[in-house]
């Protein structure tokens, strides 16, 4: 494999190069032997990279990046965050991988829990628009709910098509670390979750009409807090860019708060029919989960790797895409 990379130098500038041994090349730069530019600007850290099949592709990309403006290079080096939706069905898996932290908005979750514990079973049935069995299961869950007992890492707790194709339970250690850093799950109950945040089973969709603390629904309850947490800078990150793999129900909790300078790109998985892109819900869920796995396997740091996605029969359609909309088409056999 060949790589085009960006290094963050000690003076905060960025250096671009290419190599076929990324880790060794980073060590060489920090030993003062990598390049004249980095020798006087040590230590350097890896800010961004792209993987390519051939040396020629990596060198061509290096040349293109070197022609970019500083702003464009900084956009490449921004921290990648991936957002996905939760699943309605959940499980307890407390014995597989340890959870790391409590959700960042747990106090607001406590308020929702207390609100829902005050509901009768018929009131919950109306809120959930669910059958009697699902309603009763979740009535008992809320009645006995303790947010700090029998907890499961969020990415292992949800059971649905997207999570089946992501298959986090069989990730390597490096892949699990990747999603813990880059993945965020949007939730009507918890707000926003990292992969290893501690959760308990619940039922509460983002579109539920649940008046709480003066807000008429959950979008009003969470306001801009999901957006602010999603774009919150962490140590070592100068900017954040977001890949949206969530459904409209959940991405709508973030999108209204976006600022013109925010990088936010939505993946669309569909087929061409009558000159239009048609999205099949089940196939889209499968592709979203497979995309997370694809990115984790490559330790992806940017949108260029996203565009290389080629699984489940999908391929990137540049003619239908732009900076905020990545379209992947599936060729169906007639």
pLDDT number for residue 334: 43
Distance, CA of 284 to CA of 267 (rounded, Å):
9
Structural domain total, the chain: 2
pLDDT number for residue 77: 87
pLDDT number for residue 331: 80
Q: Is 90 left (phi over 0), alpha (psi -120 to 50) or beta?
A: beta
Q: Sign of the C-alpha dihedral, residues 49, 38, 177, 242?
A: negative
Q: 3-state SS of 25-60? A: HHHHHHCCCCCHHHHCCCCCEEEEEEEECCHHHHHH
For residues 183 and 318, membership in a common domain is answered with yes
For residues 16 and 114, membership in a common domain is answered with no
184 touches 227 (CB < 8 A): no
Residue 223's domain spans which residues? 83-330
Among 45, 62, 77, the domain-final residue is 77
Among 28, 60, 77, the domain-final residue is 77
Sheet holding 2-8, edge to edge: 14-19, 2-8, 45-52
For residues 149 and 27, membership in a common domain is answered with no
For residues 192 and 101, membership in a common domain is answered with yes
Q: The whole model's pTM is what? A: 0.90
Each of the 334 residues of the chain gets a pLDDT tens digit; together they read: 999 999 999 998 999 999 999 999 999 999 999 999 999 999 999 999 998 999 999 999 999 999 999 989 988 889 999 999 999 999 998 777 789 999 999 999 999 999 999 999 999 999 999 999 999 999 999 999 999 999 999 999 999 999 999 999 999 999 999 999 999 999 999 999 999 999 999 999 999 999 999 999 999 999 999 999 999 987 655 689 999 999 999 999 999 999 999 999 999 999 999 999 999 999 999 999 999 999 999 999 999 999 999 999 999 999 999 999 999 999 865 4
4 touches 61 (CB < 8 A): yes
Distance, CA of 241 to CA of 247 (rounded, Å):
18
14: domain CATH number is: 3.40.1440.10
For residues 144 and 88, membership in a common domain is answered with yes
Query: Can you read off the two tokens belonging to residue 68?
Result: 């970019």
For residues 143 and 266, membership in a common domain is answered with yes
Helix extents (H) in the chain: 22-30, 36-39, 55-66, 70-76, 106-117, 121-128, 132-143, 154-157, 161-166, 173-182, 218-222, 225-230, 248-251, 281-297, 303-306
For residues 20 and 153, membership in a common domain is answered with no
Query: Can you read off the two tokens belonging to residue 329?
Result: 């088409």
For residues 248 and 209, membership in a common domain is answered with yes
For residues 192 and 64, membership in a common domain is answered with no
For residues 71 and 115, membership in a common domain is answered with no
Distance, CA of 39 to CA of 280 (rounded, Å):
52
φ and ψ at 264, to 5 degrees? -150, 110
CA-based nearest residue to 66, from 112, 125, 7? 7
Query: Can you read off the two tokens belonging to residue 54?
Result: 């051939």
For residues 160 and 258, membership in a common domain is answered with yes
Among 56, 77, 98, the domain-final residue is 77
For residues 87 and 221, membership in a common domain is answered with yes
pLDDT number for residue 235: 64
């Amino acid at each position: 494999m060949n790589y085009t990379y960006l290094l963050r130098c000690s003076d905060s500038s960025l250096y671009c190069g290419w190599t076929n041994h990324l880790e060794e090349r980073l060590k060489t730069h920090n030993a003062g032997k990598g390049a004249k530019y980095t020798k006087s600007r040590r230590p350097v850290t890896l800010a961004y990279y792209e993987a390519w099949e051939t040396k020629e592709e990596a060198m061509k990309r290096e040349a293109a990046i070197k022609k970019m403006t500083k702003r464009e290079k900084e956009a490449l080096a921004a921290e990648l965050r991936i957002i996905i939706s939760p699943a309605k069905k959940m499980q307890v898996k407390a014995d597989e991988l340890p959870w790391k932290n409590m959700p960042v908005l747990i106090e607001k979750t406590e308020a929702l829990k207390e609100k829902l514990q005050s509901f009768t079973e018929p009131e919950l049935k109306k809120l959930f628009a669910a059958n009697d069995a699902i309603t009763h299961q979740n009535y008992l869950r809320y009645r006995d709910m303790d947010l700090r007992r029998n907890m499961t890492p969020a990415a292992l707790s949800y059971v649905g098509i997207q999570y089946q194709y992501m298959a986090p339970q069989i990730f390597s250690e490096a892949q699990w670390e990747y999603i813990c850093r880059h993945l965020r799950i949007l939730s009507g109950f918890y707000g926003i979750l990292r992969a290893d945040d501690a959760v308990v089973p619940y039922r509460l969709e983002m579109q539920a009409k649940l008046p709480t603390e003066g807000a008429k629904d959950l979008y009003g309850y969470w306001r801009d807090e999901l957006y602010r947490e999603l774009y919150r800078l962490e140590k070592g990150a100068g900017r954040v860019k977001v890949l949206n793999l969530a459904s409209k129900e959940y991405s709508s909790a973030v999108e209204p708060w976006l600022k013109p300078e925010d990088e936010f790109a939505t993946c669309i998985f569909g087929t061409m029919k009558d000159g239009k892109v048609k999205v099949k819900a089940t196939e889209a869920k499968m592709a979203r989960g497979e995309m997370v796995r694809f990115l984790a396997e490559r330790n992806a740091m940017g949108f260029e790797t996203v565009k290389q996605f080629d699984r489940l029969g999908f391929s990137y359609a540049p003619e239908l895409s732009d900076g905020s909309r990545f379209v992947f088409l599936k060729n169906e056999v007639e």
